[in-house]
């Protein structure tokens, strides 16, 4: 394990709610699979809410993930998402170490009955609170992913980057990471952190955690 992976591992251990911002689906899935690998424990459970379904496809080609026996994948199909969250909440809280909510971007796109950002954030905040209860007894964490998107300002038509769930996630997250992919590494910028000393630091991580 290189030095920067050790820093990230410590940051995750000190956090309850984590937001991962990214602009590439493949890099996001590879990065999350590494996190699930190093957080694996024989006694604890990891839960992946795969709204995007990209992680499910990834697993079909990567059968070597050592934590599969402890990994439970939930998918959103025709079932209302609140029912899926309720199913996750039925797990014994003392054993759930990690929950991944992938992604807030897809969550926003399927909520056709909640058009305004404030109503979407209220619903997302409800799910966050329910999932926090699940991980609280194990001192675990929840990872929310959100894809960055380029948008044009109306006043001067300049471009800026934003992400779904922005205001809520900035307020409720202990740790916010921005992931960018390089040829041999992940570049992870720390945008919010439990440790002020690490704010703004960029971590260069090997693509495969060892």
pLDDT digits (tens, 9 = 90+) for 45-103: 999 999 988 998 888 877 666 556 788 999 876 568 889 999 999 887 678 999 999 99
**CA distances (Å), 19 to each of 92, 105, 111, 207, in order?**
24, 12, 20, 19
**What average pLDDT score do residues 152-160 get?**
63
How far apart are alpha carbons 167 and 164 in whole angstroms? Answer: 9
- Predicted local confidence at residue 191, as pLDDT: 96
User: In the predicted model, is pLDDT for residue 110 greater than 70?
Assistant: yes
User: In the predicted model, is pLDDT for residue 169 greater than 70?
Assistant: yes
Residue 140 neighbours by CB under 8 Å, 6+ apart: 16, 44, 96, 97, 98, 99, 134
The band of 150, judged by pLDDT with boundaries at 50, 70 and 90, is: low
Query: Which class does domain 3-206 fall in?
Result: alpha beta
Q: Whole-prediction pTM value?
A: 0.91
The band of 10, judged by pLDDT with boundaries at 50, 70 and 90, is: very high
Average of per-residue pLDDT values in the chain = 86
- Predicted local confidence at residue 70, as pLDDT: 86
- Predicted local confidence at residue 94, as pLDDT: 76
**What average pLDDT score do residues 154-158 get?**
66
The band of 42, judged by pLDDT with boundaries at 50, 70 and 90, is: confident
């Amino acid at each position: 394990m290189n030095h920067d992976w050790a820093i990230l591992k410590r940051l995750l251990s000190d956090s309850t709610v984590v937001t991962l911002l990214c602009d590439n689906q493949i890099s996001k899935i590879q990065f999350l699979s590494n996190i699930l690998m190093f957080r694996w424990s024989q006694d604890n459970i990891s839960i992946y809410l795969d709204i995007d379904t990209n992680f499910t496809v990834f697993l079909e080609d990567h059968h070597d993930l050592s934590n599969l026996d402890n990994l439970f994948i939930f998918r959103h199909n025709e079932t209302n998402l609140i029912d899926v969250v309720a199913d996750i909440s039925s797990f014994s809280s003392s054993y759930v170490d990690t929950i991944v909510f992938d992604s807030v971007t897809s969550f926003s796109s399927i909520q056709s009955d909640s058009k305004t950002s404030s109503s979407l954030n209220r619903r997302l905040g409800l799910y966050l609170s329910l999932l926090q209860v699940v991980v609280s007894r194990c001192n675990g964490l929840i990872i929310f992913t959100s894809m960055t998107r380029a948008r044009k300002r109306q006043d001067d038509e300049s471009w800026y980057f934003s992400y779904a769930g922005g205001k809520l996630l900035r307020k409720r997250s202990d740790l916010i990471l921005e992931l960018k992919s390089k040829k041999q590494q992940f570049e992870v910028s720390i945008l919010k952190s439990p440790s002020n000393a690490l704010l703004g630091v960029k971590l260069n991580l090997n693509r495969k955690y060892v």
